[in-house]
Amino acid sequence: GAVVSQHPSWVICKSGTSVKIECRSLDFQATTMFWYRQFPKQSLMLMATSNEGSKATYEQGVEKDKFLINHASLTLSTLTVTSAHPEDSSFYICSARVGSSAEQFFGPGTRLTVL
């Protein structure tokens, strides 16, 4: 149980295009989902926290108009990278939690490469 999936697992796009990444909790309802990005050989940096049905809370320095997050249901959150540029190339990982429970479950990640 407690599986989080991400789609796609990798994507290559041209500079200026938008890319949508989906995060799904497969066997539980996630009241809160988190989006992280990870650069090579670095730690995970939290981008934003989203609760179902409400606006996401972005971390300092993360452009909310560039990284659009939608958490429309208890099992699905999407991250859209708008007008992607090469510097947006990274590994994006989502995570999901039920309420205030201690445990947080992570997706397998999405590798984004912007040419």
Binding interface with other proteins (CB under 8 A): 4, 6, 31-32, 34, 41-44, 46, 49, 51, 57, 91, 93, 95, 97, 99-100, 102-109, 111
Residue 34 φ then ψ, to 5°: -125, 145
Nearer to other proteins, 50 or 88 (CB): 50
3-state class (DSSP) for residue 87: helix
Residue in 7, 1, 16 with CA at minimum distance from that of residue 77: 7
CA dist 75 → 38, 49, 96, 111, 114 (Å):
23, 15, 9, 21, 28
Taking the complex as a whole, how short is the minimal distance between the CB of residue 96 and other proteins, in angstroms? 11
Taking the complex as a whole, how short is the minimal distance between the CB of residue 89 and other proteins, in angstroms? 14
DSSP code of 39? -
Taking the complex as a whole, how short is the minimal distance between the CB of residue 72 and other proteins, in angstroms? 17
Nearer to other proteins, 16 or 59 (CB): 59
Nearer to other proteins, 13 or 44 (CB): 44
Taking the complex as a whole, how short is the minimal distance between the CB of residue 57 and other proteins, in angstroms? 7
Nearer to other proteins, 16 or 64 (CB): 64
How far apart are the C-alpha atoms of 13 and 9, rounded to whole Å?
Answer: 13
